[in-house]
Amino acid sequence: MEAEEALERLRDLGALDDGRFAAGRAAALAERGYGDAAIAARLARDGVERELVDATLSALAPEGDRAAALTARRGVTLRTARWLAGRGFSADSIESAVAGIADTRAAELG
């Protein structure tokens, strides 16, 4: 009971702000190269409510843009596509970011 009251008081004073926490955590994870699915999972694990997770993700740069930037740094390769998948990027974002991979591979083998 006392702990709940203390938490509520801290929220009232602005010392605890779930929105600020979620935004900061999501931005840090995005900066470290994580996709929306991984960010959402981490925020949920940290106790952030689903509606706030969705709002937080929508405030980030689009996932496709982040995947494209990471691909530009790492190179358009199958390894990069697998890496993006492991970091929680959607199939659509990966396909868009490495769109030329099939053509590149065909030219290399061809």
Q: What is the pLDDT of residue 15?
A: 60
Residue 84 and residue 42 share a domain:
no
Give the pLDDT of residue 9: 74
Quote the pLDDT of residue 60: 97
Contact between residue 64 and residue 46 where contact means Cβ atoms under 8 Å apart: no
Q: How far is 108 from 102, CA to CA, in rounded Å?
A: 10
What is the average pLDDT score of the chain?
A: 88
Q: Tell if the pTM clears 0.85, that is, is over it.
A: no
Domain count across the chain = 2
Structural domain boundaries enclosing 78: 63-109
What pLDDT, on the 0 to 100 scale, is given for residue 1? 74
Q: Is pLDDT at 110 greater than 80 in this prediction?
A: no
Do 49 and 88 share a domain, yes or no?
no
Best CA proximity match to 90, nearest among 49, 34, 50? 34
Give whole-number Cα distances, 4 to 1, 9, 11, 46, in Å. Answer: 5, 9, 11, 18
Q: What is the mean pLDDT of residues 15-40?
A: 92
Q: What is the pLDDT of residue 10?
A: 62
Same domain membership, residue 53 and residue 68: no
Contact 82, 91 (CB under 8 A): no
